[in-house]
Amino acid sequence: MRILGGVNRGTTLYAPKVQSTRPSSSRLKESVFMCLEVLNAIEDANVLDLYAGSGALGLESLSRGAKSVTFVDKASACRKTIEKNIEKLNYIGLTKICIRDTCQFLSTTANSDLYDLVFIDPPYATNDETVYIVLEKLERLLNQTAVVILERSKFSKPHVPKNYKTLRMRTYGDSAVYFFSFNYA
């Protein structure tokens, strides 16, 4: 697992020793970031990386010009791995790590923390109802031009709250990646 683009291109990342994490393939990650660059969604973005695992998606964003990243994962092993990766890439002042359940984080985070780009990459075993709740709770933390990326099993058919608009959906092997924008009512 490595950084694929930007100033830290080619840097190898540490991976957590947790069975529930599933690193995104390089092909999937490169395709997602190519789409995000076309959408102009990375430069100076405040990024939220939910179910962060190693932090690879948030760290890739920083390498490509994001302003800051908040990592959320409930596993303490993931926190240690993310800290090692942040230190290795020298991103200490640009990041925040929260070791909490994603729904709990989204329920208690202040509305003043607004995000431009959000990655949601839960374990495939996470049911679609939980994903719906995460998307619903996330709404109050999104900037008006926010882009939300959801990675699921291609066999999953997530239900999405009505305020989300699907920009595109792509499949890569067993994974499906959804790109959403948020429509303020």
Cβ-proximal residues to 87 (8 Å cutoff; 6+ apart), any chain: none
- pLDDT the model gives residue 18: 66
**What whole-number distance in Å separates Cα of residue 7 and Cα of residue 11?**
10
Mean confidence (pLDDT) of the chain? 91
- pLDDT the model gives residue 96: 96
- Residue 71 belongs to domain spanning: 26-182
**Predicted confidence (pLDDT) per residue in 80-110, tens digit:** 999 999 999 999 999 999 999 999 999 998 8
Tell me, yes or no, whether 80 lies in a domain. Answer: yes
Tell me, yes or no, whether 7 lies in a domain. Answer: no
Tell me, yes or no, whether 3 lies in a domain. Answer: no
pTM of the model: 0.94
**Predicted confidence (pLDDT) per residue in 112-157, tens digit:** 779 999 999 998 889 999 999 999 999 999 999 999 999 999 998 8
- pLDDT the model gives residue 149: 97
Tell me, yes or no, whether 116 lies in a domain. Answer: yes
Tell me, yes or no, whether 9 lies in a domain. Answer: no
**Domain CATH number, residue 148:** 3.40.50.150
Q: How confident is the model at residue 24 (pLDDT cuts 50, 70, 90)?
A: low
Q: Six-digit token pair at 175?
A: 């994974």
Tell me, yes or no, whether 10 lies in a domain. Answer: no
CB < 8 Å & 24+ apart, contacts of 28-31: 28/151, 28/172, 28/173, 28/175, 28/177, 29/4, 29/56, 29/57, 29/60, 30/4, 30/5, 31/170, 31/172, 31/177
**Predicted confidence (pLDDT) per residue in 34-43, tens digit:** 999 999 999 9
Compute the Cα dihedral for 65, 69, 74, 75 and give only its sign: positive
Domain count, the chain: 1
- pLDDT the model gives residue 106: 95
Kindly tell me if the per-residue pLDDT of 64 is higher than 60.
Answer: yes
Tell me, yes or no, whether 131 lies in a domain. Answer: yes
Tell me, yes or no, whether 96 lies in a domain. Answer: yes
- pLDDT the model gives residue 28: 86
